[in-house]
Structure 1
Amino acid sequence: MAEERKKTYYISIAHGEISQLKTASPWDFQIEATDREIAELREYFDQNYSTDWQAFWRAHVPYVQYHYDRENDAYDETMMKIYEMIYRLGNDETKAQIRSLGILPDDRETNE
């Protein structure tokens, strides 16, 4: 089986966008990824979009605190997967940006 070719993509975390066009919209991170890796990243963004809506509706129930909320836990866990994947696929600038955020444990940064 032939190895998949990596292409350059530009990622916007806030909008959950993945684009091959650098000038299409504002972006946060540049990565090199295969079609399969992009499909996995898109799935993470889609999961968080769904979880975000669940959290929105749950927010109208004021007696559930954030730290007892499964939707928020799921959202946070998926965001960590997104940042880990972007770190792994990112160029040197992307990796430096994510390291500067201080959100990944040191052991995850070194498991490239």
Structure 2
Amino acid sequence: MEKKTYYIAVDLGPNAGEIHEQAHDFDAVYDFEIKATPQEIKELEHLFSEIAEEDLDTFIQAHLPYKNKERQAEHNYDDRLEEVYRMIYRLGTEETKTRMKESGMII
């Protein structure tokens, strides 16, 4: 399947991640440019939805007395975010890969 160009904004929180097929002047600034198939975009959307769920879990756990589960929710959130950045790097344009390496996002 042919890859298309997409523009990704990694907004965290309940509305984690935005994926656009075009960069518009009036849109929020995008963070990364990638080349992906529709299936790869579905995978990325799924990861963003998992981040949104994990974000809610960490918010809820933060308001309860300290328990190990709280730490687990934080680890799950971090793991999902790491997966997103690895996928963006894998699908990223050369410019995206260079920016991610230079910023220390990818080692």
Which bracket does the TM-score occupy, shorter chain normalised? 0.7 to 0.9
Relative to structure 2, which stretch is displaced further, 24-33 or 35-44?
Answer: 24-33
Query: What is the CA–CA distance in structure 2 between the aligned matches of 1:62 and 1:102, rounded to whole Å?
Result: 34
Distance in 2 (alpha carbons) for counterparts of 1:92 and 1:26: 19
State the 1:21 CA deviation: 1.7
TM-score normalised by length of structure 2 = 0.85
Q: Structure 2: any 5+ residue segments left out of the alignment?
A: none
TM superposition shift of 1:62: 4.5
Q: Which residue of 1 aligns with 2:81?
A: 79
SS, match of residue 5 in structure 2: strand
Query: Displacement, 1:71?
Result: 1.0
Provide the secondary structure at the position in 2 that maps to 1:69. Answer: helix
Match of 1:51 in 2: 54
Q: Determine the C-alpha separation between the residues in 1 that align with 2:105 and 2:71.
A: 21
Amino acid at match of 2:91: L
In structure 1, the residue matched to 2:17 is 16
1:26 and 2:23 aligned: no
> For structure 1, which runs of at least 5 residues remain unmatched after alignment?
106-112
In the alignment, what sits opposite 1:110?
none
| Counterpart residue identity of residue 19, structure 1 | H
Could you list the structure 1 runs, at least 4 aligned residues long, displaced by more than 4 angstroms after superposition. Answer: none
Letter in 2 for 1:78: R
- Cα root mean square deviation, aligned: 1.8
Q: Deviations over 1:46-98 (max 9, x none)?
A: 00000000111111024348xx6111101111111111111111111100111
Question: How far apart, CA to CA, are the structure 2 residues paired with 1:61 and 1:104?
Answer: 33
Quote how far apart the aligned CAs of 1:25 are: 2.7
1:26-64 deviation line (CA, Å, top 9, x unaligned): 100000000000000000000000000011111102434
User: Scaled by the length of structure 1, what TM-score is found?
Assistant: 0.82
Partner Cα separation in structure 2 for residue 21 and residue 30 of structure 1: 10
